[in-house]
């Protein structure tokens, strides 16, 4: 029997916690449960929101309640959902030039690795979209190589441009807005994460796999020319 903890969220949602430590294996379990729920939606379900280690099930409180939703979801643990749905492979361009990667030198000092070794290691990573965060298009990617897993800064830095590629611990993210961050900034991407498509507003789906591809400064400037960030 698959172990899980259930927590009520307000009067209209249930958080299903499958574990506590981020890993691809645990994220795969979350996505498998999400697929099982999609194939057999409980009465009153409105939406599911999968994340790294848990899943939020939002429901209509006039139709069902926390207890009934928990019972329905528990019944789906281990359900056969047919062939596993693999996430799409996505490519994100990145430029590591000094002014676009203001924390690369500090990261080099912290890890004892050269900037070239760091960028090559970052490019070698196999990243998976685990969840979306607090801002539009903020896709949190697991898969940062262990030697690059550094903690957040003690304080956030304001005015970080959209497109910045940032890392903290085992996670990587491409920012979509100009805003503060306490993560380590190692490059910048011209790849559009926000699609302006109301049906598919973001480039990634949870479960997609991501590879970064290095570009030079001229290519970066050409792709961002005239773009408002």
pLDDT at 182: 97
How is the chain split into domains, by residue range?
5-74, 89-224
Predicted TM-score of the model (pTM): 0.83
CATH architecture for the domain at 89-224:
Beta Barrel (2.40)
pLDDT at 141: 95
Nearest to 127 by CA among 185, 208, 187: 208
Tell me: the pLDDT tens digits for 80-128?
A: 766 566 789 999 999 999 999 999 999 999 999 999 999 999 999 989 9
Residues ≥6 apart with Cβ < 8 Å to 67: none
Per-residue pLDDT band at 23 (split at 50, 70, 90): confident
Name the burial class of residue 228, with classes exposed (0-12), middle (13-18) and buried (19+) by CB atoms within 10 angstroms of its CB. exposed
Give first-to-last CA distance, the chain, whole Å. 48
Distance in angstroms (rounded) separating the CA atoms of residues 188 and 179: 14
Residue 1 has pLDDT above 80, yes or no: no
With beta carbons less than 8 A apart as the criterion, state whether 118 and 144 touch.
no
CATH T-level topology, domain 5-74: Gyrase A; domain 2 (3.30.1360)
């Amino acid at each position: 029997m698959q172990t899980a903890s259930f927590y009520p969220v307000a009067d209209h949602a249930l958080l299903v916690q499958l574990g506590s430590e981020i890993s691809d294996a645990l994220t795969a379990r979350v996505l498998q449960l999400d697929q099982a729920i999609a194939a057999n939606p409980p009465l009153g379900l409105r939406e599911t929101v999968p994340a790294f280690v848990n899943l939020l099930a939002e429901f209509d409180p006039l139709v069902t309640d926390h207890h009934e939703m928990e019972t329905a979801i528990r019944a789906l643990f281990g359900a056969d959902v047919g062939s596993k749905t693999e996430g799409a492979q996505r490519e994100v361009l990145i430029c590591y030039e000094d002014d676009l990667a203001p924390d690369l030198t500090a990261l080099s000092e912290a890890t004892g690795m050269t900037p070239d070794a760091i960028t090559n290691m970052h490019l070698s990573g196999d990243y998976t979209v685990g969840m979306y965060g607090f801002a539009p298009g903020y896709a949190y990617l697991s898969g940062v190589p262990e030697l690059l897993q550094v903690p957040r800064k003690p304080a956030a830095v304001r005015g970080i441009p959209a497109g910045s590629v940032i890392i903290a611990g085992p996670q990587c993210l491409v920012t979509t807005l100009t805003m503060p961050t306490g993560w380590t900034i190692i490059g910048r991407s011209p790849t559009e994460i926000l699609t302006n498509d109301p049906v598919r507003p973001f480039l990634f789906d949870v479960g997609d796999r991501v590879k970064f591809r290095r570009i030079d400064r001229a290519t970066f400037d050409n792709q961002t020319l005239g773009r408002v960030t």
